[in-house]
Structures are given as structure tokens and as C-alpha cells.
Structure 1
Amino acid sequence: MRRSLLIRFLALSLAVALGAVVATAVIASYSTTEQLQGELQENAGQLEVDGRIYAELSSYALNHSGWSGVDKEVRRLADDLGRRIALTRPDGTVIADSARMLGAAPELPSVPAATIDARTEGGLVFAGALQSVSVAAAPPAAGHSVQMTTARAAAGPLSYNWGLTAAEQEERKVLAERASRCLAANGIKADVSVTDGAPMVAFEAEGTDGVNVRQVWRPTPSMTTFESADAAAGGGNGSANTNAADRCVPKGLYAPSAKAKLVNDDEIRRASACLTAANIDFNLTEATDGLRAVTPKDKQTVTAEFFECSTQARSQAIAPYVAPAAKLYLGSKSTFNVFSGEGMLRTAATALGVMLIAALVMLLTGRRLVRPIVALTGAAQRMRNGDHAARVPVTGKDEVARLGHAFNAMAESIQRSDFQRKAMVSDVAHELRTPLANIKGYLVASEDGVVPLDGELVTSLLEETGLLEHLVADLQDLALADAGMLRLHPAPRDLSELAQQVVLAHRPAAETAGVTLTADVPPEAVVSIDSARMRQALGNLVSNAIRYTPRGGTIVVGVRRVDDGYNLTVTDNGTGIADEHLPHLFDRFYRAEQSRSRSTGGSGLGLAITKHLTEAHHGRITVTSKLGEGSVFTLWLPQGT
């Protein structure tokens, strides 16, 4: 089966592509498995669990100036919720890890679940926790503003009940119980509830739709006395109880803690300095909880500069009292991020593996492909240096093997042409030497007076000159044919008439040799040929036949019509030609009988010239012969020549 070089290159490309696909599949399956593992861990209650973890750790950060001791809280949450919890600093240093506490050390997820930063938790609000405005979660672009809407502001990390000491909590509990008894005396059933360590007064009242709702007395931006603790139930504030609540609930119950007051003062100072430096007008307001706030002159619009000053003041004021920012990781390693350090390392290792496979395949296959090309290059260089016997070993049947066969054939042709060229030079020198030596010898003898310069000598010299002229003319014809400059002058001509003319021209030589020469032609056979050149070609064949036909033999020149043209044949019953000589019969200076003398042989160029002349007419020449029985030379000419 033929193995094409193209197929081999295709197979090589497919091998490299297969390696790349396998590597990609390994990465994809690895990351997909991890992703599916993470997704299987998630369930309907997972978000609630994660939210609780985030909230409790955020509360810890809000109420502690550092993360020292958080490992106990992390372990408690992990035990309660069955979830791996880890905290790290922004640089990746582990603060606490529930898995490491148990003696395990699995890798952390590539991406943190959240970042805990107590300085900004609780929403982006202005200095002062309780305001009648709220803003978008992202700051406005420079030169733009955002519209403010009336709503309850998020309490954020700084609220009136933030940082209550134990004494302050006990004091407020006393105030809350006193308020509860006062409300009960006015017919309002109330009790004391504690939220984030802050005692509050709660009671049940009838809503606007007749449904009882639980209400909590707390300060609001609009200074209303009551608010619903169950938004789903509706109802709003109990306005019928406003007078009783104003009389019973002391303002000290919701006064800011000493810690909140201290931070609020620092925050207002920083915000005021920043806004003044930026030439931004602002107002200082005070809420019922005793905390102050910085608000813009135009309460409906907040510029980017105002927003920046407010948030920086809050962050800087509260920073010494809360834990620094930390990254929260939940669960085991669940995702593969190609742009992470580990992802880049894994991808680079996989790519290196693919490159090594491709290199090995290319090295093994490429060496087999390059080896014959190197051999061809070496053989070509040896031929350039004159070694025409250079050949290359050839194996296989692909394109490279065919190239090797073509090179060897070319080298064989060059070597044969070089041999023929040398032989031709030798033969030409030999053919020229004899007549020139004869002419010179006779002239020198005549000059010395040895041989008289009479008519017989002149005739002999003319014969030798004619031989030289004939040889030079033959060489010129071959040179013109090799150069493609052999000019023809075709015209319609009857081949039967041309054959008869050749027979008449060579009959005297045939009679001298004792050979019968006849023509066997049809009445008419018209083709377009150069009659002079074709007479020369046919005459060369007749001359050769006369030389090789012994006395008593016959030679017949025939013309026959064939489907696509005419055959001119020269048939003799002479000595014939051995099979080993037939392939070289039309080579220059080739003689089937190497011992043949000049008296019986020509220059050795006649058949070569006949071949060129026939091919110039778009025809061909063939020969069949049997040793001892004779030969048949056939010139085929197309009818349209």
C-alpha cells in the first residue's frame, strides 16, 4: 500500500491535535469535577447557612479591635453548621481555619466567598448612623450626582447601641423595665426584648387592618415613636399610644453608647474637615439617638466628592475599634481558576507536556522524513563536484521515494550524456583525423616533389574534402536540432514521388554493391513536409541498408497509408541487427560493428540526424530487425504535418 508523505504529515498533525485535545480534556474534566462537587455541596439551605456565618463573623469584627480569639468562634460555627470556615488576611495569611483545627489541611477555594470589613459593613451611609436619606451602593462618578430618597438608613457599624458596656446594658435594662411598667399602667401590655445587647420595649397593638402586630419602640429618622417589628403584618406605628409612649419611654433608653459617641465625634470632625477643604457646603444635624450627621445643603443630591469625604471619615474613625479586613472562605476547594497562581502552574505544566509529546513525535517521524532528503543533498553535491556516478538508496513508495528514483534517473541520464559527449568528441576527432591526414600527406608529398600534383591526386583530395564537408554538415544539422533551430519549410508533397526520387538517386550505389533497390508506393500520398529534409532522412536509411545488405540482396522503399498518417519503410534482407544494439541505434557515432572501416561505414551520425528530422515533422522512427534475416526501418508521418 502506498504511504503518501501527505498522509504522514496529516497523521502527525492529528497526533499533535490528539495530544492537545487529551490535555484540554484533562483540564476540563478536573475543573468540571471540582465545580460539580461544589454545586453538589450547595442546597436550598446553603445560602442561609453561609449568610449566618457571614453575619456572625461580621458582628465579631464589629465588636473587636482584632481577630485574636476568633478561632473559638470559627470552630463553634463550624461545629454547629457542619461547614468548613476559614479566615485569611488580604495577603493570604491564615487567621483561623476550622479544618486545620481538626488536623486536616485541604486547599482553600480559589476565590473567597466574601470579604469582611467592619469599616464599611451595613451599607454605604453618611456620617451619623440614622439619617433620612440613603444612596446607591456604588459612589457616583466624578462630576455626577445621585438622587436621595426618604427612607430608613441602615444602622451600619456605627449606631446608638454599638459598643454598649455591661454597665450601660444593665442601666438600659432598668429603664426598659420601668417603661414597660408605665405602659402597662396605661393599659398597654409591653415587655422588654434584647437585640444585639440593647434592651428595647416591645408590645402588641391592633394594626390598621384589625390584625394584632408586635411593635417595638425605637428611634426613627422621622422621630415617630413606634414601628412595626413584623413588616408582613402591616399596621405601621400605633398613633393611639403615642402620648402614653412619650410619657413612659425615657430618652436615655436609646441614648448612644460612650463608644459610639466617641467615634461619631471623630467621624464628624474628619468629614467636616474634608468637606471644608473641598469647598462643599454641608449641614450638621442631630438625631434623637444623640448621634450627629453630616448632610448636604441640597438634601436631594449627593456629589462624588461629598460621598468620598463621608465614607473615608467613617472608615478612618471606626478603624481603631474594629477588626481589620479579612477574606472569608467557605467549603473545600471547588473551582479552577486558570488565571490564579495554581491555575497558571497547572496550565503551564499541561502545555509543557503537550509540547514534549509533539516534540517526541516530530523527532521520531521527522528523522525518517529528513534522512532521504539529506542523502539526496549529499548526492547532488557529489554530482556538482564531478562524480556523475553518485546515486541514492531508495526504499518505500511515497513522494520522497519517487523523488529518489527521479534523481537516480537524472543522474543516469547525465552520466550517459557525459559519456556520449566524450565519445562524440573522440569520434569526431577520429573522423576528422583520417581525411585531414590524407590531405596533408598528399600535399606535403606534392610539395616535396614525391607525388606529382596531377588530376588523379586532385580528385583524391576532393574526395577527402567531400568527406569532411559531409561530416561537418551532419554535425551542423545535429547542433541545430539540439538547439531547436532546425528550420523546416513544409509544403504539400507526394510521398510516393519522394520515395521514387530517393530510389533513383541511390540506385547507382546499389548496383555497384550488387543490391537490388526498388520502390513499392501507391499512386498518391500527399502530406505537408519539407521535401529536402525528408529526402535527407529517407536517403540516410537507404544508404545504411545498402551498406548492410550483401550482394544479391534486395532493398524495398515503401509507402503505406495508415489511419492517422503514412508509413515510409525501408526493408532489406541483409545481415540484420542484434537485439542489444537496437536501443542505441539512433545514438550519435554509434556503430553496431565497431570494427567497421571508413570504407564501409559512414560518420555514425546518419541515423541520429534521421531521428531528429522525423521528430521535427512531428513523426517518429522505429526499427525491427532479426539477426541474419534483415531489418525494417519505419518513418511515420502524420497526415496533417
Structure 2
Amino acid sequence: MRRSLLFRFLGLSLAVALGAVVATAVIASYSTTEQLQGELQQNAGQLEVDGQIYGELSSYAVNHSGWSGVDKEVRRLADELGRRIALTKPDGTVIADSARVLGAAPELPSVPAATIDARNEGAHVFTSAVQSAAVTVAPASGAAFPTSMVRTAAFPPGYSWGLTAKEKDERQVLAEQAKTCLTAEGVESQVSVTDGAPMVALDAENVDGVTVRQVWRPSLSMATFGSASVAAGGAATPSAAERCVPKGLYAPSAKAKLVNDDEFRRASACLTTAKVPFTPLTDTDTGLRTVSPKDQEKVPAQFFECSTQARSQAIAPYVAPTAKLYLGSKSSFNVFSGEGMLRTAATALGVMLIAALVMLLTGRRLVRPIVALTGAAQRMRNGDHAARVPVTGKDEVARLGHAFNAMAESIQRSDFQRKAMVSDVAHELRTPLANIKGYLVASEDGVVPLDGELVTSLLEETGLLEHLVADLQDLALADAGMLRLHPAPRDLSELAQQVVLAHRPAAETAGVTLTADVPPEAVVSIDSARMRQALGNLVSNAIRYTPTGGTIVVGVRRVDDGYKLTVTDNGAGIADEHLPHLFDRFYRAEQSRSRSTGGSGLGLAITKHLAEAHHGRITVTSKLGEGSVFTLWLPLGT
């Protein structure tokens, strides 16, 4: 079985795409490797610089409620570090760009270097003041100290967050008082300022014999200092520091307390709603509150979700919103410059050659049946309705070929029917016209007297012509969709009895018994004139083909979805081979065209159109020698 045309096109596209991807990958990997090697050699310290930029801008975000005024900070960092710096909102709106001049700037890199999200990344800094203090170690002399000799404990960065100028001045006074007290206790100390907040550092000697300076807080225990409890000028015991350094020196700011209260309230409400057991805690030194899980060994995930969400929501009004950080210039690499031009051209030529070969091999096979279809269509246009195309396979082109052959068969059959119809119409019109002309010529020559009997005969022939023309007009209107109906509620039982009454004289003349078998009432919306015409055609046919002594019954019966009008006779019946064509125009099961039995050949075709115009249908069952049953079904909603 031949594969689907869709899959063949898909395979062709994938083959070309694969070749293009492989070629692009070769060029990109080779050229990009060369460029990256050069960039790494020229920018060995780039990561450290970028980390510094990220850190300072993150600190700005933590300490400001918005990005207003960040332009100065961005330009300062760009001038000091020689790096283009740009901040944008998540939707791409530029907040600040060091490369922007008079409102214009080079295009940003395609991917941001980092995302600054103070609400989530820095949320913990505002509630960690209850944790342990840090011991930042540096030489007592203040000289440069190797990075490997600096150790940092878990210092809460939220300690100095949110301090106002007044609060800083108050802490400066407390720090100076603590230094005076420590000097009186014989402990060397130094007042320093970190992030704008005063701190007290104690001079001590560590285990390697190096004098260092340690930042002390009231919550520090003896174990925190360890062996570094001996100072150059005496014993730097925690008890002396505890007596001299007031708790207020390292107390959280008023803003930090507001955030802490909001965070504690949100976390408590979330955990209560989630039914997670917790314990509220309050730090005695700072007054900050926090929540702790009841079960320290199995902490549910909901506890961490509530805590994180509460911190982020509490901080949001006090920190800058999320921003994207772009560093450097546009991330682009032009493979069509310099040495890459030749490699690009050669690779593109190779891909095009492969694509051309694949298309030639597969395209010829795809085009061949289409060419055959085109030739057959042209032959049909020239009048050869017998034109057909050979069809093999089961793909889309094969189905198109089958459809074309079916269309050609239908056109040929319609053309044959048209010619047969023209011949039949000519024959049907010729006979009465010939009779009328013959009688008139004979009367004119004096051969036949123009008496009442002749006039009656001429009127009969004229009536046949009129009936045939009326039937043809009805069919033409039905074909054009202009057969108009005027539906109204009508009793089918009454209509059937009217048809029986109208055709009873003809039935008696033919020696046939015509009766009606109808219910008391069967109301449906129909065009009574058209439906009487359709039922009359069926009764006329039944009378014509029922021998003397036969019976015809017109019935009306209710079914689930409508009504059935039936015309049942015990006449000669119809052979099975004639049943599929019985409703075709001018078709007769009895081919003799006898005037004793043959009508115009249009009655059943008209009846079929009338039934379909009422959204119904007509069917027939018959058996030779036993009779026929014509059934006209009408829906209730007609």
C-alpha cells in the first residue's frame, strides 16, 4: 500500500529540515566555539563583575519600594565596571539603561542575565533578626586581608533594614556609649558602620595568633567566640560585652517590626485555614514574632508554603517589584561575516542541492497522477465524457482519481439521461400533435366531418398535451428550487377520501374497486393541493396497472415520527430490476408506451419531488403477480 501523500510531504519537509539543522549546527558550533574562546580569554573576570552588579541592584531593590531613581545607580555601576546595565519590567518596558542616550539605545540581549525578585529572594531577611549574629573577621590593623582568611557566620541581613536617619543617629549614640563602657572594662573595641547601621567590633586574638576584630551582638553566647575570647588588652569575655552593649543597638527598625507583624498575621491565618499545627514564638531580645511547626521531625509542605507566601506578601509594599537584568550588548552572532561567509555559502549550497535532488525524485512521482488527471479533464472539456484516469494506491491522489472517475461517470449518465429525456419529451409531444394535425387536415379535406365527436377527440389530445406541459413545468420548478408550498394544518384522512372520491369513476370504468382505510383524524401541516396531486398520481398509476376485478386501498397510518400514506394494489406488480429507476423521469416498467397503460412517465418523479418538498420521502415495495405498495411518509413538523 502506498503511503499517504500527507506523510510523504511531511517526510520530505523533515528531510530538508534535518539537513538544514545539521548544517546550521555545524556552522554554529564551529564558529560559536571560536568566538566563545576569544570572549573567555578577554573577559576572565566577567562573572565576578556581573555578580557584583546583581548584588548591588538586589540591595537597592530590598531597600526601596520602587525603581524610581535607580538610573543614577545603574550609570554609576556601568561607569565603574565598564559594563552595559539595563533593567526592564517583566513585560519588557525599560526601567533604566546605561546605554540609552536621548531616548534611544542598542537592542537588548535576547535573554536576561538574571531576574531581581526582592519579594521572594529577599523575603527571609526581615524576620531573621531572632537568629544568631555574625562574626565578621578582619585584621585589627584594618590592613588588606586575604579572602581565604575571612569567615562569615549566619548574619541576618535584615538587621539594618528599614532604619530611618533618626534611628541610625540613636544607634550611633548607643554604639559610642558601648565603646566607652567596654574601654572602662578593659576591652578594646571599635565602632564601625555597615549598610548605614552602627556596630561594635571587639578586638581579639584567634587560635592562629592573628588579632582580629569581631562584631558582637547581645545574643552571642560564649560558644560563639570560642577560643577567640582573649583580647590583646585583657579578657574579652561575653559578660563584659553583655554589660556594655545595649540590646537596642541591634534592635530591628520600626518598619521591620511592621513587616514582621503583617507576616506573622498572614502566616498564622494561612496555617489555621490549612489546619497545620504551629507554635507562635516571640524573641525576647528583638520582640519579633515567628511561627514554628508543632512536629519538628515531620514538617508538612503546607507550612513552608504558608511561611513563604506570608513573607512575600508582607514585604511587597516595601521593596521594588520584579525586574529583569540585562548585561552587555545584544546576543547575536553573524555567521556571514569574515571567514564564516565561505563556510555558510558552501553549506547553504549543499543543503539546496540535497533539497533539489529529493524534490526531483519525489516530485515526479507526485506529479504523474496529477498530470493524468489534467489530461482527462481536458478530454472531458472537449466532449469526451468517457475519459477516465487509471487509479492505484489508497493515498489522497488516489482518492482524487476515484472522485474524478465518479464525477465523470455521473456526468456521462446525466448526459445520457438528458438525451433520453429530450427524446422522450419529443415522442410524448409528437403523438398528440400528430393526432390533432391529422384530424384537422382530414376535416379540412372533407374526409372527416368536424362534428361533436371529432371535437371531443381533439380536446382529449389537447388535454394530454396540457397535462404533459404542466408536469414538465412542475419538474422544472422543482429542479430550480422554486416549487412553492403553502402549508396549513390539514386532515390527511379527509384528503385521502377526497382523492378516492375523485378517482372512483376512473376505477369503476377500469373494473377496479377503490376504497379508503383511514383513521378518524390525522392532522398535519401540508400544502393540500400539492399533496392531493402526489397522492392522485399514485392512485392513477395503481388504477392503470391493476387488472379488472382488482382492489386498491388508500390508507393513512400514524407512526412515531409522522404519518404514512399508502396506496396498495393487487395488480401485476413490478420486477426488482425496475424498482431503483421507478421514480426517474419518463421511466416505465412497461416499455411499450401504450396509450392504454402508459402515461407521461413524469407522475412518479413529480410525486417524489413533492414528498421531498414536504421534508418527507416515498418508497415502494412490489412483487410480480401480487401487487405493489407505495408509501409516502410525512413528518409531524412539516
TM-score normalised by structure 1 residue count: 0.51
Q: CA deviation at 1:542?
A: 1.0
Partner AA of 1:625 in structure 2: S
Q: Cα 1:337–1:474, aligned 2, differ >3 Å: closer, same or farther?
A: closer
Q: Name the structure 1 match of 2:21.
A: 21
Q: Name the structure 2 match of 1:357.
A: 354
Contact 2:565–2:632 (8 Å) recurs in 1: yes
Q: Name the structure 2 match of 1:321.
A: none
Q: Cα 1:337–1:443, aligned 2, differ >3 Å: closer, same or farther?
A: closer
> Counterpart of 1:432 in 2: which secondary structure?
helix
Q: Name the structure 1 match of 2:372.
A: 375
Pairing partner for 1:470 from 455, 467, 470: 467
Pairing partner for 1:503 from 497, 500, 505: 500
> Counterpart of 1:594 in 2: which secondary structure?
coil
Partner AA of 2:485 in structure 1: L
The residue correspondences of 1:351-500 to structure 2 (distance < 5 A) are 351-500=348-497
The whole-number CA distance in structure 2 between the counterparts of 1:337 and 1:545 is 89
Q: CA deviation at 1:616?
A: 1.0
Moved more, 493-502 or 376-385: 376-385
The residue correspondences of 1:165-204 to structure 2 (distance < 5 A) are none
Q: Name the structure 2 match of 1:534.
A: 531
Q: CA deviation at 1:424?
A: 0.9
Q: Name the structure 1 match of 2:101.
A: none
The whole-number CA distance in structure 1 between the counterparts of 2:425 and 2:557 is 37
Q: CA deviation at 1:388?
A: 1.5
Contact 2:432–2:464 (8 Å) recurs in 1: yes
The whole-number CA distance in structure 1 between the counterparts of 2:511 and 2:620 is 24
Moved more, 28-37 or 509-518: 28-37
Q: CA deviation at 1:436?
A: 0.8
Pairing partner for 1:570 from 567, 570, 575: 567
Contact 2:31–2:335 (8 Å) recurs in 1: no
Q: Name the structure 2 match of 1:343.
A: 340
The whole-number CA distance in structure 1 between the counterparts of 2:335 and 2:531 is 84
Q: Name the structure 2 match of 1:637.
A: 634
The whole-number CA distance in structure 2 between the counterparts of 1:3 and 1:519 is 62
Moved more, 430-439 or 617-626: 617-626
Q: Name the structure 2 match of 1:266.
A: none
The whole-number CA distance in structure 1 between the counterparts of 2:436 and 2:538 is 29
> Counterpart of 2:418 in 1: which secondary structure?
helix
Q: Name the structure 1 match of 2:8.
A: 8
The whole-number CA distance in structure 2 between the counterparts of 1:337 and 1:495 is 85
* Residues 159-192 of structure 1: per-residue CA shift (max 9 Å, x gap): xxxxxxxxxxxxxxxxxxxxxxxxxxxxxxxxxx
The whole-number CA distance in structure 1 between the counterparts of 2:505 and 2:334 is 106
The whole-number CA distance in structure 2 between the counterparts of 1:597 and 1:337 is 92
The whole-number CA distance in structure 1 between the counterparts of 2:497 and 2:579 is 28
Q: CA deviation at 1:376?
A: 2.2
Q: Name the structure 2 match of 1:591.
A: 588
Q: Name the structure 2 match of 1:197.
A: none
Q: CA deviation at 1:372?
A: 2.5
> Counterpart of 1:566 in 2: which secondary structure?
strand
Partner AA of 1:424 in structure 2: M
Moved more, 445-454 or 33-42: 33-42
The residue correspondences of 1:50-61 to structure 2 (distance < 5 A) are none
The whole-number CA distance in structure 1 between the counterparts of 2:40 and 2:561 is 87
The whole-number CA distance in structure 2 between the counterparts of 1:395 and 1:626 is 42
The whole-number CA distance in structure 2 between the counterparts of 1:464 and 1:18 is 81
Contact 2:31–2:340 (8 Å) recurs in 1: no
- Residue segments in structure 2 that go unaligned for 5+ positions in a row: 45-332
- Residue segments in structure 1 that go unaligned for 5+ positions in a row: 45-335
Q: CA deviation at 1:640?
A: 1.4
Q: CA deviation at 1:401?
A: 2.8
Pairing partner for 1:523 from 520, 523, 534: 520
The whole-number CA distance in structure 2 between the counterparts of 1:360 and 1:5 is 19
Q: CA deviation at 1:481?
A: 1.1
> Counterpart of 1:559 in 2: which secondary structure?
strand
Contact 2:336–2:344 (8 Å) recurs in 1: no
Q: CA deviation at 1:395?
A: 2.9
Q: CA deviation at 1:11?
A: 2.5
TM-score normalised by structure 2 residue count: 0.51
The whole-number CA distance in structure 1 between the counterparts of 2:519 and 2:476 is 35
The alignment-based identity, stated in percent, is 98
Q: CA deviation at 1:425?
A: 0.9
The whole-number CA distance in structure 2 between the counterparts of 1:478 and 1:501 is 24
The whole-number CA distance in structure 2 between the counterparts of 1:360 and 1:490 is 67
Point out the structure with max Rg over C-alpha: 1
Q: Cα 1:356–1:628, aligned 2, differ >3 Å: closer, same or farther?
A: farther
